[in-house]
């Protein structure tokens, strides 16, 4: 009888640990699922994402008392929800932000030319990203050094690391203004969600939506946000102690990786953004060299 009671109590404890808060995030107007929306919780220290169809699942015991979750998606108003108002299964509708569109000049062009940018990147090393609970955007500035190129980016190439051979990690593309006074990325210009899936180590080439990212005069500032797959997030969240999590993170096969190139130009040094903290510049790696993510572009320019 005592053994049976002990087994029953053990099952109750396991069930309690296994309880999940699940939800789905959709567009409030269309009902379209919002894939890879950001879920921030644990007093804004922990991070999760929805999957490709807008669903997420998080352990119930990961939420401290008096906490809130914050659901964020590019182009939508952030939605805060108190944990005490969450049920076992939830449905969240995000409202689109009203955007003021810049004036558009329509001009005829009879001749276009494709120009490659950053085509000769030199030696590439592999850079491993942080764990699943960290939102991390790695940023680089890319220039044609002639200050004359203007046009839309047609294709984007990302040099991915070994992690992508086993897992097709979603990567959200961000782009920014360049603050020439402070020599740092300025206002984010990202107006929509461009998600690409590097599928192998080395170069991965993607066609971008027509007229989406403009290469303006001297440079373009691009950021890559690698999003861990939901099954990896769940695996990490099942770890109970800090030691278990540290051991998991020390296994580099559990962490996304990207190619890093060197540049001698200080105004093209890379930056990174962790969660909602201020942007940070990578320090020089010696010999006057700086690092940034290995990215190549093809830009379509009107030559008349």
Please give the tally of structural domains in the chain.
2
What's this model's pTM, rounded to 2 decimal places?
Answer: 0.81
Q: Do residues 287 and 237 both lie within one domain? A: yes
Q: Which two three-digit tokens encode residue 16? A: 């309690």
Per-residue confidence in pLDDT tens, the chain, 304 aa: 444 444 444 434 444 445 778 889 999 999 999 988 988 877 666 778 888 889 988 777 777 778 888 898 888 888 998 888 888 788 999 998 865 544 444 457 788 888 888 888 888 999 999 888 788 999 999 987 666 788 899 999 999 988 878 777 899 999 999 988 888 999 988 877 899 999 889 999 999 988 889 888 778 999 999 998 877 777 887 887 889 888 988 888 888 999 999 988 888 889 999 887 889 998 877 777 889 999 999 998 887 7
**Is the Cα torsion angle 228, 134, 173, 36 positive or negative in sign?**
positive
Judgement on whether residues 24 and 136 belong to the same structural domain of the protein: no
Q: Which of left, alpha, beta for 115 (phi over 0: left; psi -120 to 50: alpha)?
A: beta
Dihedral Cα 48, 52, 56, 57, nearest 10 deg: -100
Q: Are residues 116 and 223 both part of a single domain? A: yes
Tell me whether residue 99 is in a domain.
no
Please list the residues that pair with 220 across neighbouring strands: 142
Inside any domain, residue 107: no
Tokens of 236: 């990490």
* CATH code for the domain of 255: 2.60.120
Question: 223 is written with which tokens?
Answer: 């950021």
Same domain, 124 and 85: no
**Residue range(s) defining the domain that contains residue 49:** 2-94
CA dihedral 251, 252, 253, 258 (to 10 degrees): 170
- Examine the domain organization and report whether 32 and 148 are in the same domain: no
Cross-strand bridge partners of residue 49: 38
Residue at 102 is within a domain: no
Structure tokens at 242: 């800090």
Examine the domain organization and report whether 122 and 43 are in the same domain: no
Give the dihedral sign, CA 118/194/283/280.
Answer: positive
């Amino acid at each position: 009888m005592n053994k049976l009671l002990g087994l029953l109590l053990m099952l109750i404890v396991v069930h309690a640990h296994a309880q999940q808060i699940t939800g789905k995030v959709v567009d409030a107007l269309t009902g379209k699922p919002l894939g890879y929306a950001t879920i921030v919780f644990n007093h804004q220290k922990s991070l999760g994402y929805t999957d490709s169809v807008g669903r997420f699942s998080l352990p119930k015991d990961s939420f401290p008392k008096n906490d809130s979750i914050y659901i964020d998606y590019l182009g939508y108003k952030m939605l805060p929800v108190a944990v005490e108002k969450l049920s076992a299964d939830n449905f969240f509708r995000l409202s689109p932000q009203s955007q003021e569109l810049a004036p558009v000049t329509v001009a005829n062009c009879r001749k276009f030319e494709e120009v490659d940018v950053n085509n000769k990147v030199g030696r590439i090393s592999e850079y491993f990203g942080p764990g699943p609970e960290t939102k991390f955007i790695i940023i680089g500035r890319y220039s044609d050094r002639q200050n004359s190129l203007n046009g839309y980016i047609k294709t984007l190439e990302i040099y991915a690391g070994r992690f992508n051979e086993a897992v097709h990690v979603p990567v959200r593309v961000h782009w920014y203004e360049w603050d020439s006074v402070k020599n740092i990325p300025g206002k984010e210009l990202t107006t929509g969600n461009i998600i690409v899936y590097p599928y192998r180590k080395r170069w991965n080439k993607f066609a971008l939506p027509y007229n989406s990212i403009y290469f303006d005069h001297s440079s373009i500032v691009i950021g890559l946000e690698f999003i861990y797959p939901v099954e990896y997030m769940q695996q990490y969240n099942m770890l109970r102690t800090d030691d278990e999590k540290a051991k998991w993170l020390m296994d580099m096969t559990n962490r996304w990786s990207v190619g890093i190139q060197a540049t001698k130009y200080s105004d093209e040094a890379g930056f990174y953004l962790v969660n909602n903290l201020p942007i940070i510049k990578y320090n020089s790696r010696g010999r006057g060299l700086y690092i940034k993510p290995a990215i190549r572009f093809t830009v379509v320019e009107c030559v008349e």
